[in-house]
Amino acid sequence: MRDRYFYWIYSLKLVNIIKLYIKVLKNNKGVKTNNKLMADLPREPRIDIKKNQSSLEPFKQVRGFYDCEIDPLFRLLLEDPLSNSLMHSLRKYLVIIIFAALDYFFRNAVRKLIDDNDLNVVPLFPPNSQKKLDRLVRECATTKGNIVASTYRFVDIHELTLYFQTSYK
Amino acid sequence: MNSFLDYVLKLNDIDQTRSVLDGHPIPIEYDKLTKAYKLRNDIAHEIKPVKISKIMVIALWDNFMNILDISQTVLLSASDRELRCSLNSDYLKSKDRARRIAAYKFYSDIIMSKLMENDGMTRNTSKYQQQIKAVKCLVIKI
């Protein structure tokens, strides 16, 4: 009798868990993703002052950065003249700077691509965002490319893929 | 375009040694990139103690440089029709090659198992002939 009672309690709990899971799935139906960080996509358009400075030649700039700053560090890494702790810190720094360069390049390249070719960016934002987009462009005296560059995080390889998938559909 | 990264990856597969003077080919490895991204988050946001090897950092940099080079060409192709056509044809070639490699990998095990079944069988038996026929069919499929 007691076993049956526990069985019913557990099956009820299981049903509740399944219901909760279905609810979560319904709420997140906008974007199919298995990445926790991307659960808030598509994001509302916004302007980020830190990401507002544009570069006309992001590729040249990143290549220049590589020649001046990354290449010597890689030489140091290969030569192995440093202590273990310093070497570990150097590796950590390189991982971070590589992703920072990736973010910088794609943010600026995408901004340039959108503004130069006057691409339609509406599919990148939630439905009915056209008004907000127009308002941002007008009030902040900015461009569509700047808004996309501020809204998306190009450091994330999944988000980058999603951006191109949505915009080239 | 199915996926931007897939497009870049396939274009890189056309010639993996284009940036190499004297060394091994450099493929773009998606798994390594995602792992490195997680590592980057652990370092930058969590201050977790992480294990990073020298080889891992070098592989990440190689991947990044490849992606950067090809992405620049892909982005330039947005306003250059000829370049876009040439990239698309390269992509299709590479896609076809990847499909064929996958088919060879898939069927090679089946062909080997069929050939192993022949062990100890004389060539004149009908069973042997049937198995050879099945292997030939598989090869034609590829």
Q: Which ipTM value was assigned to this complex?
A: 0.70
CA distance B109 to A35: 35
Both A104 and A130 in a single domain?
yes
- Minimal CA–CA distance to A93: which of B33, B44, B64? B44
Report the share of chain A in percent with pLDDT over 90.
3
Both A17 and A61 in a single domain?
no
CA distance readout (Å), B62 to A61, A94, A154, B8, B28: 18, 12, 19, 14, 8
Both A6 and A36 in a single domain?
no
Both A67 and A10 in a single domain?
no
What lies within 8 Å, CB to CB, of B80 at 6+ separation is none
What pLDDT, on the 0 to 100 scale, is given for residue B81?
A: 85
Q: What is the pTM of this model?
A: 0.71
What pLDDT, on the 0 to 100 scale, is given for residue A30?
A: 42
Both tokens assigned to A23? 């609810």
Both A60 and A43 in a single domain?
yes
Per residue in A23-44, pLDDT (tens digit) is 555 544 444 444 555 566 777 7
Both A59 and A7 in a single domain?
no
Longest CA–CA separation in chain B, Å? 71
Both A149 and A139 in a single domain?
yes
Asked if pLDDT for residue A55 goes beyond 80, the answer is no
Asked if pLDDT for residue A101 goes beyond 60, the answer is yes
Both A3 and A49 in a single domain?
no
Both A11 and A93 in a single domain?
no
Expressed as residue numbers, the domain containing A163 is 32-167
- Minimal CA–CA distance to A125: which of A148, A96, A150? A148
What pLDDT, on the 0 to 100 scale, is given for residue B63?
A: 85
Q: Do A98 and B34 touch (CB under 8 A)?
A: no
Both A52 and A83 in a single domain?
yes
Confidence of residue A144 (pLDDT cuts 50, 70, 90): confident
Please, which residues 72-91 of chain B have a Cβ atom closer than 8 Å to chain A?
72, 75, 78-79
Both A95 and A163 in a single domain?
yes
What pLDDT, on the 0 to 100 scale, is given for residue A21?
A: 58
Q: How many structural domains comprise chain A?
A: 2
Contacts of B65 in chain A (CB under 8 A): 66
Name residue A155's amino acid: V
**Positions in chain B short of pLDDT 50:** 1
Both A124 and A47 in a single domain?
yes
Q: Cα distance from B73 to chain A (closest Cα, Å)?
A: 10
Contacts of B34 in chain A (CB under 8 A): 157-158
Q: Cα distance from B102 to chain A (closest Cα, Å)?
A: 24
